[in-house]
Amino acid sequence: MIISILLVILATLVLLSVGKAIDKIKIRLSGNDYIDFQIKYQLVLLFSALLLLLINALCTGSDFWPYLAIGDINAVAEKMALFGIQQGDRWMQTGLSLSVVITLVTAIFMYFQVKRQQVKWNLLFSGMGWILLFALTNALGEELIFRVGIVVPLKGLLAPVVIYGVSAVLFGIPHYWGMPSGVIGAFLAGILGYVLAKSVDETQGFFWAWAIHFLQDVVIIGAAYLGKGNKEWK
């Protein structure tokens, strides 16, 4: 149990500190600084996630493979009043509802962060391909680390709500320095981490966690592209 938590903390520290190192890699891939950074960062993220799962599996004997599948996307959900989930609700309905509600909350929060900057909204479409790609890879890497890498090795050792709480805390804290940022950003990320950990546990699969996270990352990375990446191509 301790090993799994330490591995997640180590991976988090690596990802938080890797930015400066990436900036020193002067390899031009696209001609746009933000996109170049994201390409290199996403490669580091995916490598770190896969390495964490491998070490975790060797150290704890956990079998991660079943949870890397879609799972039962219509499994029965346990009650969670905060999000209107009633006992016996199905994850198909729950997942779709959460996808809409959480994405709207994220979009509203990010809109007010971007609104303070002078951005050219029409340029959002020019980067949509990159935004979707980075959202897919970022959601995949972070779900492997903060959900699968926590839920699977801790399952059966701690109560489900405690496991979800661990995932929420370890996911929320680094978002203080991420996007969305600050105390509110960390709090929102923590709530998201709790819900996604619950989905992985109850569906015994990866689908809803990755899908819901992907939608949030489309909004967040889209906002970051507007703020940092919509410069003239060199």
In this prediction, residue 53 has a pLDDT band, given cuts at 50, 70 and 90, of: very high
Query: Terminal CA-to-CA distance of the chain, rounded, Å?
Result: 48
Mean pLDDT calculated for residue range 83-110: 90
Distances from the Cα of 33 to the Cα of 26, 40, 112, 141, 230, angstroms: 10, 11, 24, 22, 10
CA distance 38 to 220: 13
pLDDT at 230 over 60: no
Q: Say which residues have a Cβ less than 8 Å from residue 102's Cβ, sequence separation at least 6.
A: 192, 195, 212, 215, 216
CA distance 201 to 206: 9
State if pTM tops 0.85. Answer: yes
In the chain, what percentage of residues exceed pLDDT 90? 60
Give the tens place of pLDDT for each residue, 149-177.
Answer: 999 999 999 999 999 999 999 999 998 88
Least confident of 45-54, 70-79, 180-189: 180-189
Dihedral angle computed from the Cα positions of residues 10, 11, 12 and 18, in that order, rounded to the nearest 10 degrees: 110
